[in-house]
Amino acid sequence: MLRFSFIFRGRGVAKRFASSFSNESALPPNLLLPTNLVDPDRLKRPPPPADSSLPPLRKCDAAVPAHLTPVQTWVESLERQDSEPLGVAQLHPDVFAVPPRLDILHSVETWQRNYKRISHAHTKVRSEVSGGGRKPWKQKGSGRARHGSIRSPIWRGGGVSHGPRGPTSYYYMLPMKVRVQGLKVGLSSKMAQDDLHIVDSLNIPTPDSQYLLDLIRHRHWGESVLIVDVGEDFSENILQATANLKTVNVIPAIGLNVHSMLKHEAIVLTLETVKFLEDKLLWHDERYTPLYPFKLPYSDFP
Amino acid sequence: YLNSYMHKAWLGPSSLCCRTPGAPVSAAGLRFVSDAAPEDNRSPIIESTEEYKYVERLIPSSRIPTPPKHTGPTPSGWIPPADSPPSLPYMIRRSRMHNIPIYTDVTNSNRKLTLIRKVEGDIWALEKDVRQYLQEVTGKELPTQVNEVTMTLKVKGHFDKELKDWLVSKGF
């Protein structure tokens, strides 16, 4: 059986760096530990148990297959730094509990990096270098090696025989279903590693960036947070708070992509975002092959 | 002499064009739109969306519909999945067209393969059951290949009909 070694609750990582001498302190002062080390001392809130009796704040709209159970997570609030979770939400297992296909994640990530790439490296071939039309000296009798032009590749200043030729495009498209599965695998991986947080709405009391940073540090969400919301109107407070922050970013739900999910440690979704993502991502499991491009109207496009 | 005659004939239609609107041109038999009786109150253009429904009902759906409830096999031979999934360590989902996901493949015109896709759960238990069932059916030990990453099972030979009937009898 494939062993998923994501959640590795070993001994506290800090103890491994402790010196065996009892006089010295537990941790050396100049030790820099990365924040995403799994350390039970951080006391992250454990996910709600599968059979919790709390009534869910949000149920799955789409039908859940009979052999799967919905994923349960806490719904939190950004209003106060130390507020308790508001309740439990149920998420669809076909979006948030998909088997972790790292090969799909890798291929979608490389596609995202490369499909926009146009390399402008260009060298001149011997016919493009100026000059070199005339035979420099006669074929026989001069005592020097025979040459046909002064711009041949063996000459200094000559053309490059097999160099990069012109702007080359690295454009290719992965199949739509592979890209959709990449999103599902990314969301499931974040959920499995306790890095996905559901929030009821993005209303924060102050437009202060420090409030967000304190909140993230208090709740041990990680170094970088990606906040996703549906629609184009965001509240002024959250926009102002994240404007000057490099590691905390707000994006609309249509902008969710595998690269951003991998780049940020934690992802925060609102309840409307979860509904939007489930609608859009689950539609691909039950759609026909396109009769005409999906940009044109269909009667029940999500 | 001829030129002046042609010139007048040629000028004729142009003079007709330059006449004031309102005077019907019966000589040439033409009636321009601008000569319609001048309406004093031009009603504004009204857009009516009542006939849109005739086009909207032609736009196709993008979702595959769920099949209607059948008890037992249908006349075409399609058998619906059981209402509750069978209590086995593995699960085989139906394809998006609600069929059993077993496919055959022929490579190099002589290598026959049967592929079982969309497996969830313990794929090794499925492999053991498939090998045992095909041993009973054919009497031969067939090589199989399990791909744990893609959760697929390949069996040497074409056994799609037998495996489909077997899976349907299990209730997948």
CB-based contact A298 B122, cutoff 8 Å: no
* Top-confidence residue, A32 or A255: A255
**Tally of CA atoms within 13 A in the half-sphere of A7 that contains its CB:** 11
Asked which of A105-109, A148-152, A252-256, B41-45 is least confident by mean pLDDT, the reply is: B41-45
Instruction: State how far residue B112 is from chain A, nearest Cα, in angstroms.
Output: 27
Of the candidates A182, A184, A177, A6, which has an alpha carbon nearest to the alpha carbon of residue A109? A182
Q: What is the rounded average pLDDT of the residues B150-160?
A: 95
* A288 and B CB contact within 8 Å: yes
* A4 and B CB contact within 8 Å: no
**At residue A181, what is the residue type?**
Q
Whether pLDDT at A280 is above 50: yes
CB-based contact B59 A294, cutoff 8 Å: no
Q: What tokens does B155 get? A: 């069996």
* A69 and B CB contact within 8 Å: no
* Top-confidence residue, B27 or A11: B27
CB-based contact A298 B62, cutoff 8 Å: yes
Q: β-strands A56-58, A87-91: how paired?
A: parallel
- Quickly count: other Cβ atoms within 10 Å of residue A57's Cβ: 16
Q: How many percent of chain B have pLDDT more than 90?
A: 71
| A-B contacts at Cβ under 8 angstroms | 48
Res B92: pLDDT: 96
Res B54: pLDDT: 94
Q: What is the rounded average pLDDT of the residues A227-247?
A: 93
Span A57-109+174-286 CATH architecture:
3-Layer(aba) Sandwich (3.40)
Res A27: pLDDT: 79
Q: Per the domain annotation, does B125 fall within a domain? A: yes
CB-based contact A286 B60, cutoff 8 Å: no
Q: Per the domain annotation, does B149 fall within a domain? A: yes
Instruction: State how far residue A229 is from chain B, nearest Cα, in angstroms.
Output: 26
Angle ∠(A130,A136,A146) on CA atoms, nearest 5: 120
Q: B121 is in which domain, residue-wise?
A: 90-170
Q: What is the mean pLDDT of chain A?
A: 89
Instruction: Give chain B positions within 8 Å (CB) of A2.
Output: 148-149
Q: What is the rounded average pLDDT of the residues A267-277?
A: 96
Res A6: pLDDT: 43
Res A2: pLDDT: 45
Q: What is the rounded average pLDDT of the residues A15-19?
A: 52
Handedness of CA A177, A178, A181, A187 (dihedral sign): negative
Instruction: Provide ipTM, 2 decimals.
Output: 0.78
* Top-confidence residue, B98 or B28: B98
CB-based contact A287 B85, cutoff 8 Å: no
Res A275: pLDDT: 96
Number of folded domains that form chain B: 1
Q: Per the domain annotation, does B21 fall within a domain? A: no
Angle between helices B123-138 and B160-170 (to 10 degrees): 120
Domain boundaries, chain A: 57-109+174-286
Indicate which of B63, B83, B128, B151 best probes the interface with A, i.e. most A CBs within 10 Å of its own CB: B63
CA B49 to chain centre: 28
User: What CATH number is associated with residue B145?
Assistant: 3.30.780.10
Q: Do the Cβ atoms of A173 and A115 come closer than 8 Å?
A: yes
Of the candidates A200, A206, A247, which has an alpha carbon nearest to the alpha carbon of residue A223? A247
Of the candidates A254, A272, A279, A274, which has an alpha carbon nearest to the alpha carbon of residue A62? A279
Instruction: Give per-residue pLDDT as tens, B96-145.
Output: 999 999 999 999 999 999 999 999 999 999 999 999 999 999 999 999 99
Whether pLDDT at A204 is above 60: yes
Please give the Cα distance from A248 to A228 (Å, whole number): 11
Q: How many percent of chain A have pLDDT more than 90?
A: 75
Q: What tokens does A253 get? A: 């739900």
CB-based contact A286 B63, cutoff 8 Å: yes
CB-based contact B96 A286, cutoff 8 Å: yes
Angle ∠(B120,B123,B125) on CA atoms, nearest 5: 125
**SS3 for A160?**
coil
Q: Per the domain annotation, does B124 fall within a domain? A: yes
**At residue A100, what is the residue type?**
P
Res A302: pLDDT: 83
Handedness of CA B35, B39, B44, B50 (dihedral sign): negative
Please give the Cα distance from A257 to B75 (Å, whole number): 45
Instruction: Give chain A positions within 8 Å (CB) of B91.
Output: 67
CA B80 to chain centre: 22
Angle between helices A176-192 and A102-114 (to 10 degrees): 120
CB-based contact B59 A285, cutoff 8 Å: no
Q: Per the domain annotation, does B142 fall within a domain? A: yes
A134: Cβ contacts below 8 Å, ≥ 6 apart = A149
**Tally of CA atoms within 13 A in the half-sphere of A33 that contains its CB:** 17
Q: What is the rounded average pLDDT of the residues B148-157?
A: 96
Angle between helices A176-192 and A271-283 (to 10 degrees): 140
* A51 and B CB contact within 8 Å: no
- What are the start-end ranges of the E strands in A34-100? 56-58, 71-76, 87-91
* A41 and B CB contact within 8 Å: no
Instruction: Give chain B positions within 8 Å (CB) of A300.
Output: 61-63
pTM: 0.81
Q: Which of A29-38, A78-87, A152-161 has the highest mean pLDDT?
A: A152-161
Indicate which of A61, A67, A69 best probes the interface with B, i.e. most B CBs within 10 Å of its own CB: A67
Q: What is the rounded average pLDDT of the residues A6-11?
A: 41
Q: Per the domain annotation, does B120 fall within a domain? A: yes
Whether pLDDT at B10 is above 90: no
Q: Which residue of chain A comes nearest to B55, CA vs CA?
A: A299
Q: What is the rounded average pLDDT of the residues A253-258?
A: 96
Q: Per the domain annotation, does B97 fall within a domain? A: yes
Please give the Cα distance from B169 to B159 (Å, whole number): 15
The H helix count followed by the E strand count for chain B is 4, 6
Angle ∠(A259,A263,A264) on CA atoms, nearest 5: 125
Q: Per the domain annotation, does B133 fall within a domain? A: yes
Res A31: pLDDT: 85
Confidence of residue A168 (pLDDT cuts 50, 70, 90): very high
Res A30: pLDDT: 87
B interface toward A at CB cutoff 8 Å? 56, 59-64, 83-85, 91, 93, 96, 120, 122, 124, 148-149, 151
Q: What is the rounded average pLDDT of the residues B81-106?
A: 95
CB-based contact A288 B151, cutoff 8 Å: no
Q: What is the rounded average pLDDT of the residues A40-48?
A: 67
Confidence of residue A8 (pLDDT cuts 50, 70, 90): very low
